[in-house]
Amino acid sequence: MSQETIVEFVYMPEDTIEFSETEEGHYEVAIAFFQSPSFYERVMQSPYYVNLDQELFVQATLQTSDPDLQLLVDTCEALPDPQNTTLQTYGLIRQGCVEDTTYQSYPSPSMDVARFSFRAFEFLKEHSSIYLRCKMAVCSVNDPSSFCTQGCFSRRKRSLGTPHQEVEVIVGPIQLLQ
């Protein structure tokens, strides 16, 4: 065979198969209280003692190395016992819609971090301690129709969009300073 000869071999299959792949992951979200809106100094004490009407700063962080995921606070509520979900709860935000007038979102340094605050409320007077239970949505950053970009709508009106994961996290206890 001469040195300048090129040999090609092409295989043409009779049938072709098309497939799409969907990956589903399990995500961890860390949630913590912070001392101020700078979100620099984390509250380390447990239980977290607060005054009535004190502003509480919360940060949730998605534990992932995937830069194409974002985190959204879907639902957060205060409850007296994280083990007993039948007890009365106090809603701060539900399905992306703010329920408590003191709830405030804060800008986040990245898409995998969600920050917000709320004020300690009368619910603390009724219970010796409370916990914060949040459902966080994990969505693709590159999907403009994702659950995370739809904003506040009731479930009936909110389109399904693309699939997302929900992660439930609980932090507490929070107790009223005597």
In this predicted model, what pLDDT tens digit does every residue of 42-76 receive, in sequence order?
999 999 999 999 999 999 999 988 888 999 999 99
Cα–Cα distance list, 26 to 29, 71, 93, 167 (Å): 10, 13, 24, 9
Residue 99 reports pLDDT greater than 70: yes
3-state secondary structure of 165: strand
Residue 29 reports pLDDT greater than 60: yes
CATH number of 28-176: 2.60.40.4100
Share of the chain above pLDDT 90, in %: 48
Neighbours of 167 (CB within 10 A): 19
Higher pLDDT, 162 or 36: 36
Per-residue confidence (pLDDT) for residue 37, from 0 to 100 = 96
Per-residue confidence (pLDDT) for residue 86, from 0 to 100 = 79
Q: Per-domain residue ranges for the chain? A: 28-176
Confidence grade of residue 125 (pLDDT, cut at 50, 70, 90)? confident
pLDDT, average across residues 69-96: 89
Q: Average model confidence (pLDDT) for the chain?
A: 81
Q: Which of 103, 29, 153 is nearest to 145 (CA)?
A: 153
d(CA 100, CA 123): 12
Q: Is 24 exposed, middle or buried (CB count within 10 Å of its CB: 0-12, 13-18, 19+)?
A: exposed
On whether the pTM is more than 0.85, the answer is no
Per-residue confidence (pLDDT) for residue 145, from 0 to 100 = 78
Neighbours of 80 (CB within 10 A): 19
Q: Which two tokens stand for residue 8?
A: 């090609």
